[in-house]
Amino acid sequence: MVWTRSQRWIRAVWPLAQQSAAAVVAWLIAVRVAGHADPFFAPIAAVVGLNATLGQRGSNAVRLVSGVVIGVLVGEVAVWLAGGGVRTLAVATFTAILLARVVDGARIVLAQAAVSVILVVVLVHPERGGDRMVDAVIGAAVALAFSQVLFTPEPLRLLRRAEAAVLSSLADGLRMTGDAVEHGDQQRAMAATVKLRSVRDDLTALGTARSASDRITRHGLAWRRRAALVVAERAGADHLDLLAGSCLMLTRTATAVDGPERARLAAVIRHLAGAMDEVAENPGGQDTRQNMAEDGVELAMWLVEHGARVSAQSALAAAQGSVRMVAADVMVFAGADPGLVFTDPIPARPDE
């Protein structure tokens, strides 16, 4: 899945547009429906509520309201007891942050409690404390409507985008490995190893996407009935870290092979890279996953045919064992039964 510059730009700007629209909607509701004169808390709450990674915006909005309520209540009580001033500001801010930490230690709760109490004490309008809390609730409600109803993120798209990044990086690393094996170039071998080690960053992003997809499925109204699809996709994504480890092992063993077998081994490795590239372009496509699984079966059959001719103690045997493991992990990610893949000498195709 290759993103053009314009697509990346749109992807970055879209959440900002949502925040801007939410701020306007919250302001209009607070002014025209609630009748508040200067409802600055409403647009602030809407923007901050949406200012989180996908999958966390709903809980972000709820935490924001709790922080605002704590800050406003503490500020109103402080102004009522002691009036304005620096001492009131110091004591009220400390008290609000302390209470926020007791209620919920999340940073957004602490920050919103502090900001809210500061605004209340500095502006000194105790009679408008109730309006401020209503404005905060309006803003949070708008944020929830945007994140959970109008613009619910698609957990499958999140997962597949992260899967595509992992598969693309693995394909690049294996392609570099194939070049290193074919030419017997240790510098290229080292570069391939470094490339595959860097896949851990993509795997971290995949882990974040898995967690986000789980939260979206549990809390998003539109995805609760389709949770089975997300669970199945997440199961495949869980296997990518094993595939990454197998690819790294293949690079280490294959680059140790010497002699005329290098060319054939390099071709096999490039074949694996091509299969991963194909799925990375369309990770949700059943046809591409089917082709990927079939490639794994063909490689397994090739190993059965040629493995018996190789000494068990040779570097080539170790490399072939690594190819076998990569092929097996590829088939599992594509949907094959792990129990069959890791026990049968020639695994069955997923549709057989």
Q: What is the pLDDT of residues 174-220, one digit of tens each?
A: 999 999 988 888 899 999 999 999 999 998 888 888 877 777 777 66
pLDDT band at 172 (very low <50, low <70, confident <90, very high): very high
Say yes or no to pLDDT of 74 above 70: yes
Do residues 74 and 99 lie in contact, with contact meaning Cβ atoms separated by under 8 Å?
yes
pLDDT for the residue numbered 25: 93
pLDDT for the residue numbered 320: 78
pLDDT band at 95 (very low <50, low <70, confident <90, very high): very high
pLDDT for the residue numbered 132: 76
Summarised one tens digit per residue, pLDDT across range 253-267 is 888 888 777 888 888
Mean pLDDT comparison of 239-248, 304-313, 320-329, highest-scoring range: 239-248
Say yes or no to pLDDT of 32 above 60: yes
Do residues 54 and 153 lie in contact, with contact meaning Cβ atoms separated by under 8 Å?
yes
The domains of the chain are located at 5-150, 157-341
pLDDT for the residue numbered 191: 93
**CATH code given to domain 157-341:** 1.20.120
Name 83's Cβ contacts closer than 8 Å, sequence gap at least 6. Answer: 124
pLDDT for the residue numbered 344: 52
CA distance 270 to 279: 14
pLDDT, average across residues 56-73: 79
User: Which of 23-32, 90-99, 124-133, 250-259 comes out lowest in average pLDDT?
Assistant: 124-133
- For residues 296 and 171, which has the higher predicted lDDT (pLDDT)? 171
pLDDT for the residue numbered 227: 67
Q: State the CB neighbour count (10 A cutoff) for residue 126.
A: 16
Q: State the CB neighbour count (10 A cutoff) for residue 309.
A: 8
Do residues 276 and 248 lie in contact, with contact meaning Cβ atoms separated by under 8 Å?
no
Say yes or no to pLDDT of 247 above 50: yes
pLDDT for the residue numbered 170: 93
Percent of the chain with pLDDT over 70: 76
* Whole-number average pLDDT of the chain: 78
* Measured CA angle at 100 (ends 143, 117), to 5 deg: 80
